[in-house]
């Protein structure tokens, strides 16, 4: 369920390609603009884009999650655990979206990609405020939904 105190950041509907209308092109700009080239990597999880991306992921706004988290991903250093973590979240949202679109095989392939990203995120400390095992739990929930063994 979406947090009602989200500050009006919720889109008017969930976008599912081929099923629902796409949002206006600039709808997410203010959220994405919370991440700038000057944002330090250790502060990325405190940006509106990161927080809203997680809100969208947990609330079923999967395409929208990808849209705002991409701005965060673009500011992560190459080959960093932060980049791997954000990519795992984006691909997890994509897997959920593919389920809504009736494309379980695509969702399964994306689950493999999420797992590969998470395998590269194994330090004991949280990455961008998220424990790797928490995200792995979200991945396992998707796999259960797809009828995959964990």
Per-residue pLDDT of the chain (150 residues; tens, 9 = 90+): 344 444 457 899 999 999 999 999 899 999 999 999 999 999 999 999 999 999 999 999 999 999 999 999 999 999 999 999 999 999 999 999 999 999 999 999 999 999 999 999 877 789 999 999 999 999 999 999 999 765
Rounded-to-integer distance, Cα 136 and Cα 87, Å: 13
Any domain includes 24: no
What pLDDT score was predicted for residue 79?
92
What pLDDT score was predicted for residue 122?
76
Any domain includes 2: no
Query: Does pTM surpass 0.85?
Result: yes
Range 95-99 contact pairs with CB under 8 angstroms and sequence separation of 24 or more = 95/142, 96/57, 96/60, 96/62, 96/142, 97/16, 97/17, 97/62, 97/63, 97/66, 99/142, 99/145, 99/146
What is the tens place of the pLDDT at every residue in 9-51? 789 999 999 999 999 989 999 999 999 999 999 999 999 999 9
Any domain includes 31: no
Any domain includes 51: yes
Write the CATH number for 75. 1.10.3450.10
What is the tens place of the pLDDT at every residue in 25-35? 899 999 999 99
Q: How many separate domains does the chain show?
A: 1
Any domain includes 15: no
Any domain includes 13: no
Any domain includes 9: no
What pLDDT score was predicted for residue 107?
97
For residue 134, the enclosing domain spans: 40-145
Any domain includes 56: yes
């Amino acid at each position: 369920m979406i947090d009602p105190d989200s500050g009006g950041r919720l889109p008017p509907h969930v976008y599912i390609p081929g099923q629902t209308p796409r949002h206006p092109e600039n709808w997410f700009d203010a959220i994405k603009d919370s991440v700038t080239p000057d944002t330090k990597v250790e502060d990325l999880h405190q940006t509106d884009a990161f927080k809203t991306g997680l809100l969208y992921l947990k609330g079923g706004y999967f395409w929208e999650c990808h849209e705002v988290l991409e701005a965060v991903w673009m500011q992560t250093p190459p080959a960093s655990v932060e980049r791997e973590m954000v990519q795992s979240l984006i691909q997890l949202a994509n897997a959920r979206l593919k389920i809504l679109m009736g494309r379980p095989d695509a969702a399964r392939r994306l689950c493999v990609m999420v797992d590969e990203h998470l395998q590269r995120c194994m330090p004991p400390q949280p990455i961008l405020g998220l424990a790797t095992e928490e995200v792995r739990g979200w991945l396992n929930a998707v796999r259960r939904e797809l009828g995959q063994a964990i």
